[in-house]
């Protein structure tokens, strides 16, 4: 390899390493926002709700920076094969992280509304879903960071567990809507939170699928057995 080609490869590897680290930094912030949103809901902490909403703006900025950085890499180096997939997957994963941040804001906004109402014991129904959604998210980031293809492929089945939990929770919450208009508003807020947790799981699965595509070149988005 000539000295010029070696320099180009070294420059690309360095830029790609920086892009991946930026995505991981973004994932850490998104993780914190998600956890704070659920803490704000469970602890009825309006100040923490406001922090979540404010912090999400930083996630938005990081997504735009990641996209710009990725486009510069594509234009400057014109990568192919696995290098091309590495850049594109990082850009797409940053988009899913931004959407997880948005869903966390939805949780925080609903929590703020609930704080003006009486305490609902049914809030506790959301804790198991939160734990599963968080586990899927954490594992998806680990699959991206470590290149763990087996983990990335198997996460889809964990997401189906979250889907089933969400349906059960919503069914139980729907029964409370008949208690009157005041109670109905609160139960609807909790249903929106349950749906937000489900969508967080969906975006986390998409992160795992992008990681698998980056490392294996195979699209596994529609390769799973049909839901029963």
pLDDT digits (tens, 9 = 90+) for 52-81: 999 999 999 999 999 999 999 999 999 999
64 falls within a domain? yes
224 falls within a domain? no
Domains of the chain: total: 1
Q: Is 163 within 8 Å of 138 (Cβ atoms)?
A: no
Cβ neighbours of residue 212 closer than 8 Å, sequence gap 6 or more: 143, 149, 152, 153, 218, 220
104-120 pLDDT per residue, tens: 999 999 999 999 888 88
Burial class of residue 181 in the structure, from the number of CB atoms within 10 Å of its CB (0-12 exposed, 13-18 middle, 19+ buried):
exposed
228 falls within a domain? no
226 falls within a domain? no
1-17 pLDDT per residue, tens: 544 455 457 899 999 99
221 falls within a domain? no
Over residues 159-184, mean pLDDT: 88
195 falls within a domain? yes
Q: Range of 85's domain? A: 3-216
Q: Is 123 within 8 Å of 17 (Cβ atoms)?
A: no
Torsion of CA 95, 98, 100, 102, to 10 degrees: -130
| Percent of the chain clearing pLDDT 90 (strictly above) | 84
Number of neighbouring beta carbons within 10 Å of residue 1:
8
32-49 pLDDT per residue, tens: 999 999 999 999 999 999
pLDDT at 7: 45
Look up the CATH number of the domain holding residue 170. Answer: 1.20.58.220
């Amino acid at each position: 390899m000539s000295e010029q080609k070696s320099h180009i490869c070294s420059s690309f590897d360095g830029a790609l390493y920086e892009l991946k680290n930026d995505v991981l930094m973004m994932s850490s912030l998104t993780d914190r926002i998600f956890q704070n949103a659920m803490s704000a809901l469970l602890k009825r902490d309006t100040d923490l709700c406001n922090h979540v909403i404010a912090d999400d703006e930083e996630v938005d900025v990081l997504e735009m920076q990641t996209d710009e950085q990725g486009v510069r890499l594509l234009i400057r180096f014109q990568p192919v094969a696995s290098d091309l997939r590495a850049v594109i997957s990082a850009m797409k994963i940053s988009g899913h992280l931004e959407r997880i941040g948005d869903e966390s804001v939805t949780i925080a906004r609903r929590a703020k509304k609930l704080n003006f109402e009486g305490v609902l014991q049914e809030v506790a129904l959301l804790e198991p879903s939160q734990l599963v959604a968080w586990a899927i998210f954490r594992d998806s980031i680990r699959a991206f960071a470590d290149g763990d293809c087996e983990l990335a492929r198997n996460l889809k089945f964990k997401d189906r567990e979250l889907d089933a939990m969400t349906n059960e929770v919503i069914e139980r919450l729907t029964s409370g809507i008949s208690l009157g208009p005041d109670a109905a508003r609160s139960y609807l807020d909790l249903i929106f939170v349950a749906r937000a947790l489900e969508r967080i799981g969906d975006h986390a699965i998409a992160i795992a699928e992008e990681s698998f595509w980056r490392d294996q070149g195979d699209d596994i988005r529609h390769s799973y057995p049909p839901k029963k």
